[in-house]
Structure 1
Amino acid sequence: MTNHLMNLRHVPDDEADEIRDLFEAHNVPYYETPPSRWGISMGGFWVNDDEEARRARELLDNYQRERLQRQREIYEQDLAAGRTGGVWHRLRQRPVTTIAACLAIIVILGLTIAPFVTL
């Protein structure tokens, strides 16, 4: 029976490449379906054999734990160096874009809520 290992929607290219390399390094016979442009199909990595699926899932779980740790360390380094941050950081770096986005959010919220307020 076919086993779906991982959804590829919103997966960065570098992560998908690392997973392909991981499966090929461990001789996991997988196949891949790409996500659709319109977001209808999710795409993903698939394995046919149940035993291979268990082995691939174990490899994938270990990889994702390691990637989470690496990405968290990179984020903390960027945060400490001042290269990333929250809303205030973005407001200082790109004030016009940030204010325009906030205004757009307020307008959309107002248009959405206005019919209910006037009842």
Structure 2
Amino acid sequence: MAKLLLNLRHVPDDEADDVREMLDANGIAFYETKPGPWRISVGGIWISQDAAIVEAKRLMAEYQLARGARARAEYAAAVRDGTAETFWSQLREEPLRVLLTVVAIVLLLGLVALPVVLLRA
């Protein structure tokens, strides 16, 4: 019976491509399901053979460790160079979106606090 190796919800295309290449390079048979038309069901990468699932999971764990280390190194380099995205850089680039987000947060906090205020009165 096939086993799900990777749920493709919120997975970047480059990561999915890397996983496909990794499985091909190691001779692990897999197939892929595409997301449904309304995105209710998401796609996935499935391992066809039960015997290969342990090896596929081991390879996936190694890949995720390496990808995480690479992402952390890229972020650290961006922080060192001063090119990392910050609140202030987002505010300069998209002031309307940031302002609307802050207003929405304040409104939601007020809505959450409203029962407490009403119960005290």
Band of TM-score, shorter chain = 0.7 to 0.9
Give unmatched runs, 5+ long, in structure 1: none
Deviations 1:26-79 (A, max 9, x none): 121101123446553243211132211111111111111111111111111111
Report what 2:26 is aligned to: 26
Identity rate, percent: 39
Count residues with an aligned counterpart.
Answer: 119
Confirm whether residue 107 of structure 1 aligns to residue 107 of structure 2.
Answer: yes
TM-score, L = length of structure 1:
0.82
Q: Specify whether residues 108 and 77 from structure 1 end up closer, same or farther in structure 2 by C-alpha distance, changes over 3 A only.
A: same
Structure 2: distance between partners of 1:78 and 1:35: 34
Partners of 2:78 and 2:36 in 1: CA distance:
33
Structure 2 length normalisation: TM-score?
0.81
Q: Does 2:70 correspond to 1:80?
A: no
Residues in 2 aligned to 1:103 and 1:69: alpha-carbon distance in whole angstroms: 36
**CA RMSD between the two structures:** 2.2
- Partner Cα distance (2:6, 2:33) in 1: 10
Give the letter for the 2:59 counterpart. L
Q: Which amino acid aligns with 1:69?
A: A
- Structure-2 separation of matches of 1:82 and 1:92: 15
**Residues 67-108 of structure 1: per-residue CA shift (max 9 Å, x gap):** 111111111111111112443443355444323311121123
Distance 1:34 1:116 in 2: 46
- 1:59 has 2:59 as partner: yes
Q: For residue 51 of structure 2, what is the amino acid of its counterpart?
A: E
